[in-house]
Chains A and B, each alone.
Chain A
Amino acid sequence: MNPILRARQVNIYYGDKRAVRDIDLDIAPNTVNALIGPSGCGKTTFLRALNRMHDLTPGARVEGTITLDGEDIYGDVDPVSIRRRIGMVFQKPNPFPTMTVLDNVVAGLKLAGIRDRGTLLEVAERSLRQAALWDEVKDRLNTPATGLSGGQQQRLCIARALSVEPEILLMDEPTSALDPQSTARIEDLMSDLKKDVTIIIVTHNMHQAARVSDTTSFFLIGDLVEHGPTDQIFTNPRDERTESYVTGRFG
């Protein structure tokens, strides 16, 4: 299968400091891909390069090529249009606190100029169902989003990202601020979602990577040490550093 996303010789710098070195990575469509590694290994830095979030960080620079469906996302394209195609869910749930549940879900559609209330409601329901949140919030769509629990807020953020129908969904440790029950719900969700969207998830939790992902990439001090099917990475890694990490000898 042709990769949906392809990274070649990606280097990311903060000022003079190189945080990520020479990454080559292919992501197949409709898969869940985990990026794992100890703190400071560059996995989040790499993830944020994929939707041009580093454009917002003064001093950050991305070199190399990253293509989405064959198109260079750092080429002659508007980063805004890239971010519409590559959505993102963050470490901490970050709903817009002044908006209602409904307004949060459709915030991206409103940015795209969609105003028709029927369409907005329809997309909101679809996205909330995808995020397994519909049944819990269908009677409180017009209440403030801050009234939801942490786990519900994170699923709201997932619904918000899904509402614009991205091709890829980036998740930056999406469950690190949640309790085990909410974490389990979001993990269950991921395998359902991959029929619609390709997921790339940064996780600190190896068990989570093993549970949810099809492929796993192990990062260490800015290098991509090993990338392969999750089964293989966890049961039969080729690199001994990977083995040390997945068996819990460091990290």
Chain B
Amino acid sequence: MRETTPSVRPRHAAGASSRGDGLFRGVILALALAIVVVFVLALYQLVAGSLPSIERYGFAFLFRTTWNNVTSEFGALPFIIGTLVTSFAALLIAVPLAIASAVFVTEYAPRWLAEPVGYLVELLAAIPSVIYGLWALFVLKPLVVQLGTWIFYQPWIVQNPSLKWLVPSNLAGLGLLTAILILAIMVIPYTASVARDVIRLVPQDQREAMYALGATKWEVIRSAILPFARAGIFGGVILSLGRALGETLAVTMVIGNDPKIVSGLFNPTATMSSIIASEFNEAVNNLQRSSLIEIGLLLFVISVIVNYVARLVIARITVGGTS
């Protein structure tokens, strides 16, 4: 009985669309899996490339402070410190500026000013890092040299043992401070644009609730808007941190690339990415190449850990979340 009736039903169409669905599902699944495969392969390559160095140094590699091409002694600590110090110091400078710019654009600036300012801040993210590097060499470096020179002639600093870290070891202007400053500028747009968006999303009734209690505009921003937006802003900070941890070229151009634990604010050092960029092509032997790859692996691991911790923090501070 059933075979006699279905001639009018759009059987072909149904069959085709379910075949199409299956195909689409397959393609999507393959693409999604490809991402996982790329991730795993990258990790595998890093681990495989690091094996000689891992076999040689083991865990101690993380804490070894020597990096010497001549004696073939390698250790990652100067670069781990360099990366962490430059990144977090850059955040310390960038985050207040970024939040201030977001607050200005959303709460203070008139519309005709807010849009171009917001757009320009975002445009900062589109500038290639080599341009930042050049700008740092031409503009920041001379300023850092001036500041370093000035400090050099301040006896109260130079002769004070507890301010030794402020005294430049040389006046080339290439070192930690220049790297921190250029990184700070580079990471501003990530926090700023995310903060701007989340501040715009703070419900009007939150602002009004605070105003109605007799708050000034600044108090509304501090006590109602920023707390409400804090999880989103923190997400933006993490984007900035990710950028700072991985930024290579601009930092390599200005940090001095001295593979030693940083000895002062003005002194040259290196970061994990800058040492890879500056030495990988000229690596003199297998162990050095492998050590550089292991530093890459560590950078990978640090980035993953930072992101994971960030997710935990965001989940905790999200408004209406399970706090």
A interface residue numbers (CB < 8 A to B): 51, 53, 56, 80-81, 83-84, 87-88, 90-92, 94-99, 107-108, 110-112, 144, 146, 157, 160-161, 164
Taken together as a complex, chains A and B put the C-alpha atoms of A97 and B213 apart, in Å, by: 16
Count of interface residues, chain B, beta-carbon cutoff 8 Å: 23
Q: A83-B213, A144-B323 are in contact. List 20 more A-B contacts (CB 8 A).
A: A51-B212, A53-B211, A56-B207, A56-B211, A81-B214, A84-B214, A88-B208, A90-B212, A94-B203, A94-B206, A94-B208, A96-B224, A97-B320, A98-B227, A98-B230, A108-B213, A108-B214, A111-B223, A157-B209, A161-B212
Q: Which residue of A lies closest to B230 (CB)?
A: A98
* Bound complex: CA A231 to CA B211 (Å): 35
Contact B206 A161, beta carbon cutoff 8 Å: no
Interface residues of B (CB under 8 A from A): 203, 205-216, 219, 223-224, 227-228, 230, 317, 319-320, 323
Task: Contact check, B227 vs A83: say whether CB atoms are below 8 A apart.
Answer: no
CB of B120, distance to nearest CB on chain A (Å)? 23
Bound: A80/B320 CA distance, A: 29
Contact, CB under 8 Å: A97 / B214: no
Q: What's the least CB distance linking B221 to chain A, in Å?
A: 13
Q: How far is the CA of A95 from the CA of B224 in the complex (A)?
A: 10
A128 to chain B, nearest CB (A): 16
Residue of B nearest to A48 (CB): B208
- Cross-chain contact B212 with A88 (CB below 8 angstroms): yes
Total A-B Cβ pairs within 8 A:
73
Inside 8 A of B207's CB, which chain A residues have their CB? 56
What's the nearest-Cβ distance from chain A to residue B57, in Å? 46
A156 to chain B, nearest CB (A): 11
The answer to whether B228 and A97 have CB atoms under 8 Å apart is yes
- Assess the A83–B203 pair: CB atoms within 8 A: no
Q: How far is the CA of A123 from the CA of B275 in the complex (A)?
A: 60
Alpha-carbon distance between A160 and B211 when the two chains are bound, in angstroms: 12
Given the contacts A56-B211, A90-B209, A80 and B228 also touching, CB distance less than 8 Å: no
* Closest chain B CB from A25 CB (angstroms): 20
Could you list 15 A-B pairs, sorted by A, with CB under 8 Å? Answer: A53-B211, A56-B207, A80-B215, A81-B214, A83-B214, A84-B213, A94-B205, A94-B209, A96-B209, A108-B214, A110-B223, A111-B223, A160-B213, A164-B213, A164-B214
* With A90-B208, A96-B206 as contacts: A107 and B223 at CB distance below 8 Å: yes
Which residues from chain A contact B223 at a C-beta distance below 8 Å?
A: 96, 107, 110-111
